[in-house]
Structures are given as C-alpha cells and as structure tokens.
Amino acid sequence: MIKKGEWVLIHRNVLEPSQRAPQVPEDTKNVPLEMWLKGYLQEDANIGDEVTVLTRTKRIEKGTLLEVNPYYKHDFGTFVPELLQISDQVKEILFGGADNE
Amino acid sequence: MSKDMSYAGVMSRRPEIMKKAAGLDFSEFESGSIAFDYERMMREAGFTIEEIQKIQSEHGVGNTPIIELRNLTALARKLAPAGKGARIFIKDEASNASGSFKARRASTAVYQAWKLGYKGVVTATSGNYGAAVASQAAMYGLKCIVVQECYDSNGVGQPEIIEKARKCEALGAEVVQLSVGPELFYSFLTILEETGYFNASLYTPFAIAGVETLGYEIAMQFREKYGKDPDVVMCTNAGGGNLTGTARGLRKAGAESKVVAVSVDLSGLHMASDNQFNKKSFTTGHTGFGMPFTTWPDRSDVPRSAARPMRYMDKYVTVHEGEVFYMTEVLACLEGLEKGPAGNTALTAAFAMAQELDQDQMIVVQETEYTGAGKHVQPQLSFARKNGIEIIFGDPKDEVPGKNIILPSHPSMIKVNEADLNHMRKSLIKNALTNYNVTPNEADIAFLAEETNTDAEFVKGVIASL
C-alpha cells in the first residue's frame, strides 16, 4: 500500500489510436499518445490502481499508478572503445605520437 | 456544458487559447495576405539591446567567454592546403545559467510573462529550452510546466531528453512527458487552457530578441580582443531562432560577418514516426527541423514566427551524425572542453570550412551546451548501438541515418555538404502561396523578397514557374 501524500509517477493514454491526428504516420497512428507525470498521491493506493495526483504546479491529474519515489536511471552508457581511437588518432596527427612520449 | 476535449475540439480553440497565452496580438502586424510587418513586430513587441542586456545580466545570462581553439586550428592546418586554415573560436554558451544559449531566449520570454502578471509559464520542448525556461522561472518565482516528447511506444526514452527532464525538475518545473507524435501540441494547448499560464514559445519576438545579444556580444568581443569582426559565424540550425537572433544582433552591431547555418543530416527519417524516434542520435540541430522551419517558419506554435532564418543565412550546410560525435570527442581531448554533442554541430562544419579560408581569417562557432548523463557522446553512441544502429569507422558520406553512424576514419574526411539555397527559397515562396491561397499583391512580393533575401524579380520568376 502506498500512502496518500507520497511522490509518485502515473501514466495515462491521452489519445487512443482512433483519436490521433490525421497527419500522423501509420506506425504512430497504431499506438496511443501516452503521458507520464509525477505528483503527490491523493489517496492510499497500490501500483496499477487508477489514482489522482497533485502536480508541482498544483494541478489535479488522473492516471495509473506506476512507481513511488520515481528516480532517474539514465547514465553514461556502456563503454564505446571508438572514442579512445579517435582521441589517439588526432593526438598522433597533431603531436606526433611516439616522439612526444 | 463541458468543453470538447477531442483532438479536433481543442485544435479548433487554438486561436483563442494562443491569444490569451501569448500576451501579444499578432493581428496588429498582419496585412490580411501573405505579408506581415516583421520589423514593426520586432520593434514594438521585442526589446532594445540595452533592455535585454539589463534583463539578462541580472539573471545569470550573457557575456559568455569566447575561447580560441588553438589545437583544433592546428589540426585543421595540418589537413588544409598551404596558407589555409582559419583561426577557430567558440562562444561558450554552456556558461549561461541553464547551460545553453537558450537561456537568452528564455530570459526575455519569462521576463515578459512576469511583467504581464502571469502566474506561470508553459513551454513545449524536448530541448535545452525547457531547462532555460525552468531556470528563469525559478528566478522570477513563476510556476513552470515543460511538455516533452520523450518516449516511444515501448516506453524507451531518448537518454538526452530524459536528462533534460531531470534538469527541468531539478530547477523546480513540472515535466509532462509524452510518447511520439505532433499531438504534443494538443496536450500543450489543454495545459495552457487549464492553467491560464503564459506560452513561453521559442518563436515570439521576445524570445528571438533575447538571442540578439549573442550576435552583438560576438562583434563587441572580437573588436575588443582582435580588432575586427569575425569573418564567419557558424550557427547550429533547427527552428531558426538561434541563427535569426544572432544575425540580427550582428547587424545591430554593424558587423558584416557571413552567417552559416549548419544541421545534422537526418534525411530519410520521419520526425513523427514512433518506430524511428529512437533511431536518431540527435534530438535537435538536425535537418528534420532545420529544413521545414527554414522553408516555412510559420509552422511554429505562434501565428507569426519571429525566427525567420532564410532572411539571414548566407549558406546552409549539413554534416553527418558520425562527424559531430567525432568532433565532440576531439573538442574534449584536444581542447579540454567537454560539451554536449548537439551543440557541436556547427563546430564540425567550422572545422571543415576553416580549411578553405585563409589563415588570417577568423571563424566563430556561436554556441556550446552543457553535458551530463544521457546528454553526452558516450551514452548517445552506446544507446544507438543498443538500438541496432551500426557504428563503424569509414567515410561519413556513406552514412545512412537510422541505419549506421560512420565515424570518419581520418579527420580529413570531415566535410560539409552545401544545401541548394535557391531551391529552398523557391520552396518558401511555394509554401507561402499554398498556405495563404491568394494571388500575391505587390506588398506580398516585396515581403517574399525579404523572406528569401532576394529581390522582386526573383520572386516573380518563381511564382511564374509554379
């Protein structure tokens, strides 16, 4: 049970596939327009429940409860060895590699 | 009776919602046909350079340093014919309050919202502008909502856009994240209608006037330090506001530097496609925005855009994704400057074009942007690889957007491709005629000549050929 007042992430479909704009390409038209939003939970609830939240600008929004205390998971990615190669190459051209060591 | 919240219903209320949220009646500047009084709009609705300098200097914006890239210049000279290889400089716009030149644009927009008494600001952007508006709104004590296109239908987010959401939230903004599609504008309108907040559009005269100081500062800083204006100013181009504001500022300073637009070539990728959303490694500064906005500026979120780049560009060149990533790494390892990749689009073209200019000439790249998790060459390349994009060394001219990223095997392979400006001018004229569906009068022809930086004869010739 997640308590009222907790900071949560919710999700809602804003437009169903049938409601999408006419100019949208086919692949996009086959899927809904989805929205993710954070706010303070307005009633005790469980993950997956339909809930109401109060956003940072004090708007009321409804959606499916996804996460409590949501946090960012983006990072610097996995190692890309090509970047070392680029660095070595331009230093070699400019400063002359072995002679410079 | 409750309001019609369907897509068509909300879009039909667009004019009234936008008028209430703009703090500006665009109809004052209309002629009733294709032409409108652009200069009067900029004069009456914008700000003077002195006013903007005051607003910006009090809010952590402007007076950013210009750094000479000596090692990069030396590398370019190694590859250039004898006597060639202009000095390359960069204006470190990442040192603005929010980490990019967009702070300039937000400073005037948010100031206007504050002056007119709005309680908050809303902006629709997946770019650095969101953080810029959030930063300025924090300083003025205004509420801020940023609406982003962020995820594909599998819920996979572009790392760079996720980082920008983080920064907006860190600065106190509410972030509404959406999946792919132009109906972002629908959601944006519903929020404007609900809140009554100010539309901090990127394209109002306020926002564009805010960028004029960038061009003005370049002229002043070069005169003070080097005794003359730079020969060429390179601008990364998407919606056209960066180039428009910078060029107008250069002109206000009396500088005659050539202005070059640069975009990353993403041809073949559809910007509204769910499948292709995470196949592109650049979220801005690319041809997917640059080309359509240059040939039809009034596709923006205001009735008349203040960003009209074709009036000001002397050249429009494109570079490849692999070349920009390569140059981002070079900027870090040769110059000690770690910056976000998208901002290095113009730098990549500057490196190639410097090799065609004389050694006593000066070429300045007019922006950098902040970097961090997600918004960096390493996560962008590893994300691309994870999405099945092939990353190889080779000749960048063989790059196919959405299929591969070709890092140049040698820096001598970094080249610009020049877009056909006359073809683009014709497109703009054709778009104007199609959108307004009128027989152009003399005022329209004079307007289109200004829009395309040509003359009445050119415009009449194009119209006759359609």
What is the pLDDT at residue B12? 93
Closest-CA residue to B64 (of B300, B348, B288, B369): B369
B134 or A98, which is more confident: B134
Contact (Cβ atoms closer than 8 angstroms) between residue B353 and residue B295: no
Q: Where do the DSSP E strands lie in B252-308?
A: 258-264
Q: Long-range contacts of range A51-58, CB-CB < 8 Å, 24 or more positions apart?
A: A51/A8, A51/A10, A53/A8, A53/A10, A55/B174, A56/B143, A56/B172, A56/B173, A56/B174, A57/B120, A57/B143, A57/B144, A57/B145, A57/B174, A57/B195
What is the pLDDT at residue B132? 98
Average pLDDT over residues B288-308: 94
Indicate the residue of A19, A31, A93 with minimum beta-carbon distance to B6. Answer: A19
B89 or A101, which is more confident: B89
Alpha-carbon gap, residue B284 to B384, rounded angstroms: 16
What is the pLDDT at residue B1? 57
Closest-CA residue in chain A for B165? A72
Share of chain A above pLDDT 90, in %: 93
**pLDDT confidence of A73, banded at 50, 70, 90?**
very high
B24 burial via Cβ count (<10 Å: 0-12, 13-18, 19+): buried
Average pLDDT over residues B176-182: 96
What is the pLDDT at residue A97? 60
B82 burial via Cβ count (<10 Å: 0-12, 13-18, 19+): exposed
Which of B19-33, B56-70, B277-291: highest mean pLDDT? B56-70
| pLDDT above 80: residue A100 | no
CB contact under 8 A, B71 and A24: no
Alpha-carbon gap, residue B209 to B46, rounded angstroms: 6
The amino acid occupying position B207 is A
Indicate the residue of A31, A34, A74 with minimum beta-carbon distance to B163. Answer: A74
Contact (Cβ atoms closer than 8 angstroms) between residue B383 and residue A80: no
Give B159's contacts in chain A (Cβ within 8 Å): 74, 77
Structure tokens at B441: 């009068």
Contact (Cβ atoms closer than 8 angstroms) between residue B303 and residue B18: yes
Share of chain B above pLDDT 90, in %: 93
| pLDDT above 90: residue B46 | no
Model confidence over B102-157: pLDDT tens digits?
Answer: 999 999 999 999 999 999 999 999 889 999 999 999 999 999 999 999 999 999 99
| pLDDT above 80: residue A98 | no
Helix (H) or strand (E) holding B429: helix B421-436
Give A74's contacts in chain B (Cβ within 8 Å): 157, 159, 162-163, 166, 373-374, 379
Alpha-carbon gap, residue B29 to B203, rounded angstroms: 15
Give B326's contacts in chain A (Cβ within 8 Å): 86
Average pLDDT over residues B316-340: 98
The amino acid occupying position B245 is G
Closest-CA residue to B310 (of B152, B429, B437): B429
Alpha-carbon gap, residue B330 to A84, rounded angstroms: 10
Share of chain B above pLDDT 70, in %: 100
A101 or B408, which is more confident: B408
CB contact under 8 A, A21 and B166: no
What is the pLDDT at residue B15? 87
Give A59's contacts in chain B (Cβ within 8 Å): 174, 191, 194-195
| pLDDT above 60: residue B23 | yes
A66 touches B: beta carbon within 8 Å: no
Closest-CA residue in chain A for B336? A87
B90 to A96, B321, B322: CA distances (angstroms)? 25, 20, 20
Give A23's contacts in chain B (Cβ within 8 Å): 182, 272
What is the pLDDT at residue B2? 82
> A-B interface: how many C-beta pairs under 8 angstroms?
157
Give B183's contacts in chain A (Cβ within 8 Å): 14-15, 20-21, 24, 33
The amino acid occupying position B128 is N
Contact (Cβ atoms closer than 8 angstroms) between residue A43 and residue A62: no
**pLDDT confidence of A91, banded at 50, 70, 90?**
very high
DSSP state of B102: H
CB contact under 8 A, B194 and A59: yes
What is the pLDDT at residue B430? 97
| pLDDT above 60: residue A99 | no
Model confidence over A22-70: pLDDT tens digits?
Answer: 999 999 999 999 999 999 999 999 999 999 999 999 999 999 999 999 9
DSSP state of B349: H
Tokens 């910007």 label which residue?
A: B271
Model confidence over B231-284: pLDDT tens digits?
Answer: 999 999 999 999 999 999 999 999 999 999 999 999 999 989 999 999 999 988
Structure tokens at B461: 């010739």
Structure tokens at B277: 């959303």
| pLDDT above 90: residue B44 | no
| pLDDT above 60: residue B8 | yes
What is the pLDDT at residue A38? 98
Q: Which of residues 1-60 of A touch B (CB under 8 A)?
A: 14-15, 19-21, 23-25, 27-28, 30-38, 55-57, 59
Alpha-carbon gap, residue B264 to B316, rounded angstroms: 11
Average pLDDT over residues A76-84: 97
CB contact under 8 A, A80 and B330: no
Q: What is the nearest CA distance from B334 to chain A, expressed in angstroms?
A: 7
Alpha-carbon gap, residue B211 to B250, rounded angstroms: 11
Average pLDDT over residues B170-179: 98
Closest-CA residue in chain B for A33? B179
Contact (Cβ atoms closer than 8 angstroms) between residue B314 and residue B257: no
Closest-CA residue to B279 (of B149, B158, B127, B184): B158
Q: What is the nearest CA distance from A44 to chain B, expressed in angstroms?
A: 22
Q: For all residues of chain B together, what is the average pLDDT?
A: 96
Q: Could you give the ipTM of this predicted complex?
A: 0.95
| pLDDT above 90: residue B84 | yes
Mapped onto helix, strand or coil, the DSSP state of residue B69 is coil
